Amino acid sequence: MAEKKFRLKIVTPGKMAVDKDVTMVIMQTIDGQIGVLAGHEPVVTVLDHGVLRYYEDEKIETMAVFGGYAEINQREVVVLAETAELPEDIDIERARQAKERANRHIEEKRAETDVMRAKVALRKSLVRLELSGQPLTTDKK
Amino acid sequence: MATSRDIKARIRSVTTTKKTTKAMNLVSSAKMARARGRLNAANPYFKLTKKTIGDILNGCAETISPEDFPFFEGNRPLKKALVVAIANDRGLCGGYNSNVTKLAAQVALGLSDEGKSVTFFTIGNKARDFLRRGGAAIIGHVGGIAASPSVLDAQDITKELVDMYENGDVDEIHVVYTEFVSAITYVPASVRILPLSAADFPAEEGHVRGMVKFEPNSTEVLTRVIPKYLSTTMYETLITSAASGQGATMAAMDAATENAENIISNLTLVLNRVRQAAITQEISEIVGGANALE
């Protein structure tokens, strides 16, 4: 059975990343994951840095979304993010280095703001690694 | 009368100037193309942000009262106004800087007529220089970013402005910038970014707004989304100003190059005339000398 579709728009200051008809979206809000189907009640929610999944018929597409919020209404879902990255955009080596650097900063516990910044960096690098299908183990060699 | 040597020297100097202005024209046209590209790329984002914020503000107008939320109009009396003026860091761009600072001064005048105290926040060194000359009170300045502002610059500036607003240093914030209409048309414009009022966001035709639910809750969402909206607006005004500023520089340098060409062709004419006069004089001297010998 063909499921009902709705419009998904993912927009950043740099580009219109996605503008497609989809059957379902799963996104990471600051309060946990939510899945949206067509005809969802109107909601505005703040997104965490995370991987967003959307279902286009049989296909599942993923995208990393950073610093965004989403408006869900009867006809469409609009995600407004600072940046959005496709799996192929991600430089795995760089993300891994960023993760290690962030971990180091957190362990060294420098100034308060440094640790906060490092935590955000860590979160972002983990999202990138998750999106590119890398194992997420945080143990060190 | 100028000797042909003087004229040649002037032609050389004007030719160098022409080379410079031509180069500046090319540089600014490349920069304008880039700023314009970024503006076009970000346009859907700006439009959707405005629409979403309009939906949010109208959707929660009944459930949230301005007393609870400092960003909303009606939260406190508006006594201290801040005018943010965006211009270039450098001159050589025709009337661009003075047009935008003139509008900033007008906006400030209107606000002080309403009995508000007015201070300025300037972006771009020329905005600061122009307004300071007019004796304005400038409480903040950012230089060096006007030509190619980034999203991060916009976030930093917004944070500074929001801090001032939340501390109660200012009660309302206006941004005066230059709208990029086309490659040859730029219009100075002014927008109030704080406090927010649902009335500032009329719904588009055919767009029906309803009640909006917030996840996890309205305060959490609004405190996070509104700063994002503000920095988006800031980025929009910065980038459209940057494109306009580069366009104005381009036009000014184009005019300067054309002027240089005119001067060169006039000087060349004078030079030829002087040379011809010298030759004629020499001939008549020779002829006169030969006649005297006979």
Given pLDDT bands bounded at 50, 70 and 90, which one contains residue A136?
low
A38 vs chain B: nearest CA distance in angstroms? 17
pLDDT per residue as tens digits for the range B184-217 = 888 989 989 888 887 777 777 667 777 778 877 7
Residue span(s) of chain A under CATH 1.20.5 come to: 91-131
Q: Same domain, yes or no, for B175 and B212?
A: yes
B55 → closest Cβ in A11, A30, A71: A71
**B238 in the same domain as B272:** no
- The answer to whether residue A42 scores a pLDDT higher than 80 is yes
- Residue B173 has a pLDDT of 92
Task: Say whether A14 and B41 touch across the interface (CB within 8 A).
Answer: yes
Domain A91-131, CATH among 2.30.29, 1.20.5, 1.25.40, 3.30.450: 1.20.5
Q: How far is CA A32 from the centre of its chain?
A: 12
Residue B36 distance to chain A (closest CA, Å): 12
CA distances from A11 to A83, B156, B163, B231 (A): 8, 21, 27, 15
Start-to-end CA distance of chain B, whole Å, equals: 34
Segment B233-255 shows an average pLDDT of 91
Using DSSP's 3-state secondary structure scheme, residue B231 falls into helix
Q: Give contacts of B45 with chain A, Cβ < 8 Å.
A: 11-13, 16, 80
Same domain for B66 and B207: yes
Residues of A in contact with B44 (CB under 8 A): 9, 11, 16
CATH number of the domain that residue B128 is part of: 3.40.1380.10
A28 reaches B (C-beta below 8 A): no
SS3 at position A28 = strand
- Tell me the pTM: 0.84
CATH number of the domain enclosing B285: 1.10.287.80
Number of Cβ within 10 Å of residue B228's Cβ equals 20
Indicate the range of A37-51, A90-104, B102-116, B276-290 predicted with least confidence: A90-104
Nearest CB among A29, A34, A69 relative to B228 is that of A69
Judged by phi (left if over 0) then psi (alpha if -120 to 50, else beta), residue B214 lies in beta
B93 token code pair: 């761009």
pLDDT of B65 above 80: no
**Residue A138: pLDDT band by 50, 70, 90 thresholds?**
very low
Among A6-15, B87-96, B191-200, which stretch is predicted with the lowest mean pLDDT?
A: B191-200
- For the segment B223-233, the average pLDDT, to the nearest whole number, is 88
B50 and B181 belong to one structural domain: yes
**Spatial separation of the C-alpha atoms in residues B237 and B235, rounded to whole Å:** 6
Query: Hey, which bits of chain B come out as E strands?
Result: 80-86, 117-123, 138-142, 172-182, 185-194, 213-215
pLDDT at B294: 76
Residue of A78, A36, A29 whose CA lies nearest to A55: A36
pLDDT for res B91: 86
Contact: A13, B228; criterion CB under 8 Å: no
Tell me the CATH class for A6-88. Answer: mainly beta
Residues in A closer than 8 angstroms to B49, CB to CB, are: 80
Q: Specify whether B269 is located in the same domain as B145.
A: no
> What value of ipTM does the predicted structure carry?
0.77
Q: How high is the pLDDT of residue B26?
A: 93
